[in-house]
Amino acid sequence: MPANHTVALLAYDGLCTFEFGVAVEVFGLPRPEMRAWYDFQVCAIEPGPLRATGAIQVLADGGLDDLKRASTIVVPGWKGAGVPVPGELRQALLDAHAAGARLVSICSGVFVLAATGLLNGRSATTHWRYAQQLAETYPDIRVQPDVLYVDEGDLLTSAGSAAGLDLCLHIVRRDFGARIANQVARRLVIPPHRDGGQAQFVEAPLPQKRAEISALFDWIRRNLHRELTIETIAERANMSTRTLIRRFHDTVGCAPKQWILRERINRARNLLESGSQSIDRIATESGFRSAENLRHHFREQLQTSPAAYRRRFAESD
């Protein structure tokens, strides 16, 4: 947990109400069961009252000067992908970042961060509708159009709407650990973790086959410890390997091998967080077969080791 845990949430005329509410719910809701939680403040970038989507007006208790005291600054969407970002806001974010604040954007809020230049040479994401415009307007940013969120350490960006919840929970997970993040998720009645690399949009889903493919996914999750070849899965699904690969792309936006790897990583993460099994045992139960193979994929996918992940996120009494 950062020594300074003040979260500043930007407010502006034309505010994106849902994205704003996401950040309020996660960071601003009092949690008396916690010994310490975030200090929270709404900071207006212009005089109010500020209009928000849904005929709502917002009166903020802070302004741009307050950003210098924040450890985390959240941009909840923006007025429009092509709307200029005021110079005063850009400078305030640059100064706060230089002082050590991490900057977070939800949906089109990435255009505010992009305007500062801080994302140049970094990876970022946004709502799939804006991804091409972001890439064309800011070619120095490595735009990842098909993920839920991107964590670059001090710069974090998410896709649209509900993906903002995933990113905010990810931040709680970073700051407080898995047990507290899971508690917050339960209060929100949402899954405690969705991996940032999960596809945010499926171009052509097949609703009439949804139950069938869902049952197959459930079977794979129950059998991650087994050797799962494309042929094995196709036989189980009673379809050709070509049809299986196409169905995976249509449903989850990636190949079966990628999806299974992601599920195995998630299984290993859950086991590391919730138990004291050996790394070898966890590697076996999650389908990696050896501790070294598990370590390899953790380094490649999460930039950490299973042991370091357990030290950071394991539940404690």
Q: What is the pLDDT of residue 191?
A: 66
pLDDT score for 269: 87
CATH 3.40.50.300 at 6-188, yes or no: no
pLDDT cut 90: percent of the chain above it: 62
The string of pLDDT tens digits covering residues 62-82 is: 999 999 999 999 999 999 999
> What pLDDT does 314 receive?
66
DSSP string, the chain: --SS-EEEEEE-TTB-HHHHHHHIIIIIS--TTSSS--EEEEEESSSS-EEETTTEEE--SB-GGGGGG-SEEEEE--S-TTSPPPHHHHHHHHHHHHTT-EEEEEGGGHHHHHHHTTTTTSEE---TTTHHHHHHH-TTSEE-TT-SEEE-SSEEEE-STHHHHHHHHHHHHHHH-HHHHHHHHHHHTS-S---TTS-S--SS--GGGHHHHHHHHHHHHHTTTS---HHHHHHHHTS-HHHHHHHHHHHHSS-HHHHHHHHHHHHHHHHHHH----HHHHHHHTT--SHHHHHHHHHHHHSS-HHHHHHHH----
- CATH superfamily entry for domain 204-317: Homeodomain-like (1.10.10.60)
The torsion of the CA quartet 21, 25, 27, 32, rounded to 10 degrees, works out to 150
pLDDT at position 210: 54
Among all chains, which residue has been given the structure tokens 């005929």? 55
Domain ranges of the chain: 6-188, 204-317
Which has the closest alpha carbon to 143: 183, 113, 100? 113
**Phi and psi, residue 105, nearest 5°:** -125, 145
CB 46 within 8 A of CB 12: yes
Angle between helices 178-188 and 256-274 (to 10 degrees): 110
The two tokens of residue 207 are 């609703």
Rounded distance between C-alpha atoms, residue 84 and residue 78, angstroms: 10
Q: Which segments in the chain show pLDDT lower than 70?
A: 1-4, 191-212, 313-317
- Region of 289 (left: φ > 0; alpha: ψ -120 to 50; beta: rest) is left
